[in-house]
Amino acid sequence: MSVLRTTSARRFRSLFAVASTAALTTALVAVSAPPAAHAGGRPTDYAFTAFAYGTKVKAAAGELRSGRTAPSWIGCTRQAGKTRTNEVLGVDAPNNNPLVDLGAITSQSSTFKKKKQGIAAGTRSTSTVASVVLGLQDAQVPTPELTINGLTTTATAWATTDGKLHASTDSSVLDINLVVPPTGTPLDEPLAQLLALVDDQVAPTLDQVVALLQQNNGAIEIPGLGKLELGYSRTGVGARQAVALALSLRVTLYGLDGAAGGADDSTLKIGRSYARIIGDMPHAVMGGSGWAADADLVGGTAHIGDIVPKQLPCQGTDGETRSKALASATFPGVSIAGLQGRANGRITDAGRVRAWTEGSVAHVALGSGEMALTIDGIVGRVNLATDKRGRLVRRDTEGTIPGVLTFQGQSHTLPLGEAPELPPELAALISIQTGVLDQSDARGLKVTALRITLLEGTAAGTVVNLGNAKASIRES
């Protein structure tokens, strides 16, 4: 196997400069930087995590269609008074699925304390979806159309001043409407019941819709469109932590052919919220994740977020490596296999913190015929450590590997921190960046081992990030 060099017989030409990563591979980066700014007030003795998003679409054939819309996130903090809000207007919502028309979507995640009301600390996440219209929406081709308006999903986890932990979820909807064009065939009883419920003079509550779905094994088929399915609502309260999570509704869409089982089938999740509180956390908190891949499709028309993410919990993992894996996934123009996210964190008896996160992809394939290429062994990794006083003494990406590129029978190790040159015929199709580093968090670090941008074909403008890791250690 030869090393990729600018002096090789087949000279490689760079299209995009690689982010400067000379100090990226093993060097310590700004370990003496001060903690990042945070909400005012004294840190609590609780750790919070919360997130929410509006919708997420995944194709049945494995190709992800849309990432989370309007995601808001608060990760691993002891600070009350934080708020994160995200909003996507209807005109800016992903439009790459002709069967899904989204209105405005807002999500908010926050941490709080209300001691006068008996709440020592808490966290809440809320997803609000103004409207979702499902169906082809073509007057020339009458098809079923399902409309959901004003869907709100909330998850809350909190501690009362007596030290007890609590968790709850809540979901509501303003209106659900279903139009089924006449076909001359009698409707199945479950579908007739759903039509009767939503066509009543009084708008149905989400509880009524959920109850009807439960009576019908969790799903009601709408021929020519798909299935309306149950989401979930779960809470868990233990001695040290409380968790609440909710997904209001799920819809399986049959695709443009209106028939189940086709390659164009997809699953739509609507209204997702999560909140967690951990007690007895008077020390530093960890955060971050390792994930295999994410992508921005065709110039940003849609984002596919964090495939197989493995979170680094606030309290760490007691030194145990936790992992999450997926056999394969497909983006437009790119197939990937052997996806994995890993995380590990530990707080020693002396108060020192050690943490790392890692995302990896075993194999990438794109192109066809003589222009087919593969890249193998991609790993992105972040390593952090503090001393017993909480000062960062390690902040690096040792273990990050951009991978080995094979093209026309020749294999080349992609350099980390150097601009790889590509043969002209390949450089017209893709550009490559290695070791893309984000140092904006003074108490953390983020790296993408390999970034591929597609330059030609129907997927031109798609950016795929492979081997991703981020981690942080915060005093609050």
Mean pLDDT of 35-49: 70
Q: Can you tell me the distance from the alpha carbon of 145 to that of 178, in angstroms, rounded to the nearest whole number?
A: 6
pLDDT digits (tens, 9 = 90+) for 321-358: 999 999 999 888 899 999 999 999 999 888 899 999 99
| Residue 245 pLDDT class (50, 70, 90 cuts) | very high
Alpha-carbon Rg for the chain in angstroms: 24
Q: Which of 168, 136, 259, 153 is nearest to 210 (CA)?
A: 153
User: pLDDT per residue over 432-443, tens digit each?
Assistant: 999 999 999 999
Confidence (pLDDT) at 368: 86
CA 3/CA 413 separation, integer angstroms: 5
Asked which of 54-63, 107-116, 196-205, 252-261 is least confident by mean pLDDT, the reply is 54-63
Measured CA to CA, the distance from residue 124 to residue 242 in angstroms comes to 12
Phi, psi of 433 (to 5 degrees): -125, 140
- The first and second tokens of residue 462, run together, are 């798609």
Give the pairing type, strands 72-77 and 47-59.
antiparallel
Which residues, at least 6 apart from 69, have a Cβ–Cβ distance to it below 8 Å? 53, 54, 55, 56, 88, 93, 94, 102, 105
Q: Which residues pair with 121 in a beta bridge?
A: 159
Q: Render pLDDT for 364-401 as a digit per residue (tens, 0 to 9).
A: 999 888 889 999 999 999 999 999 888 999 999 999 99
In 10 A of CB 299, how many CB atoms?
A: 9
Residue 447: band (very low, low, confident or very high) from pLDDT cuts 50, 70, 90: very high
Beta bridge partners of 247: 232, 272
| Among the listed residues 304, 234, 264, 249, the one whose alpha carbon sits nearest the alpha carbon of residue 465 | 304
* Average pLDDT rounded to a whole number, residues 139-160: 91
Select from 202, 280, 274, 198 the least CA-distant residue to 243.
274
Q: What global pTM score does this model have? A: 0.76
**pLDDT for 300:** 62
271: its two tokens? 């209204």
Q: Where are the domains of the chain?
A: 1-41+283-476, 46-281
Where residue 459 falls among pLDDT bands split at 50, 70, 90?
Answer: confident
CB atoms within 10 A of CB 186: 8
Q: How far apart are CA 304 and CA 74, in angstroms?
A: 20
Residue % of the chain over a pLDDT of 70: 87
pLDDT higher than 70, residue 61: no
pLDDT of res. 1: 36
| 8 band by pLDDT with thresholds 50, 70 and 90 | very low
How distant, in Å, are the alpha carbons of 243, 247, 295 from that of 269?
Answer: 20, 7, 19
Nearest-angstrom CA–CA distance, 15 and 19: 13
- Using a 10 angstrom Cβ sphere, with 0-12 exposed, 13-18 middle and 19 or more buried, the burial of residue 139 is exposed
